A and B are shown apart, each in its own frame.
Chain A
């Protein structure tokens, strides 16, 4: 099913390799988590 989805999205192209686990990127992503964690109030969404 996953392969079929990929073909539908990109006519059979292969997705380039992406590393979301590099220390630099993790540091950046963590900044967002810290913002969320430190919020004084719950998110204004359901």
Chain B
């Protein structure tokens, strides 16, 4: 069964996704954006945070709405949407703070858990180690960054 998510507005061929995190009295505009890496044109860097009124993104924010599960599922939906538009690209992200690192780790774990239901959506997930190596993601290991790549017929 598909996990509940917030309604998402998608723009620019899957590069920008917006949704509202909602609680009783507070609505927080969230954005998931994908920005091309300057080091590798195949890689897009994931940005997630609160969209501020001036257009800046607060990547240090943490949800006060007690809706983390919903937010995680919605971010995963945005990642899946990105790959619909750009199946040949790679997504990379890294935690800006220890809290963010934990958040992204939760995203990855949830992402993997979600994969069991839709087997047609298959991805390769890698972790950056702190000694500048990259390896297939292991659930019990701590990484400083991640890569997600959609498998193609030849991989």
Binding site for B on A (CB under 8 A): 5-6, 9-10, 13, 15-20, 22, 24-25, 28-29, 31-33, 35-41, 43-46
B63 contacts the other chain (CB 8 A): no
Q: Does A5 contact B35, Cβ atoms closer than 8 Å? A: no
Instruction: Give the size range of B's interface with the partner.
Output: 35 or more
The interface residues of chain B, by DSSP majority, are classed as: strand
Q: Which residue of B lies closest to A31 (CB)?
A: B94
Q: Does B29 contact A25, Cβ atoms closer than 8 Å? A: no
Q: Does B47 contact A28, Cβ atoms closer than 8 Å? A: yes
CB of A15 to closest CB in B, whole Å: 4
B82 contacts the other chain (CB 8 A): no
Q: Does B133 contact A36, Cβ atoms closer than 8 Å? A: no
CB of B27 to closest CB in A, whole Å: 14
Whole-angstrom CA separation of A43 from B94 in the bound complex: 16
CB of B92 to closest CB in A, whole Å: 5
Q: Which of B40, B47, B96, B155 contacts A36 (CB 8 A)?
A: B40
Q: Does B144 contact A9, Cβ atoms closer than 8 Å? A: no
Q: Which residue of A lies closest to B81 (CB)?
A: A9
B59 contacts the other chain (CB 8 A): yes
CB of A25 to closest CB in B, whole Å: 6
Q: A19-B54, A28-B96, A44-B126 are in contact. Are A37 and B33 (CB under 8 A)?
A: no
1/0 per residue, CB under 8 A from A, across B122-155: the answer is: 0010101000111000000000110101000011
Q: Does B47 contact A29, Cβ atoms closer than 8 Å? A: yes
Q: Which of A15, A28, A32, A46 contacts B154 (CB 8 A)?
A: A46
Q: Does B94 contact A22, Cβ atoms closer than 8 Å? A: no
Q: Does B38 contact A43, Cβ atoms closer than 8 Å? A: no
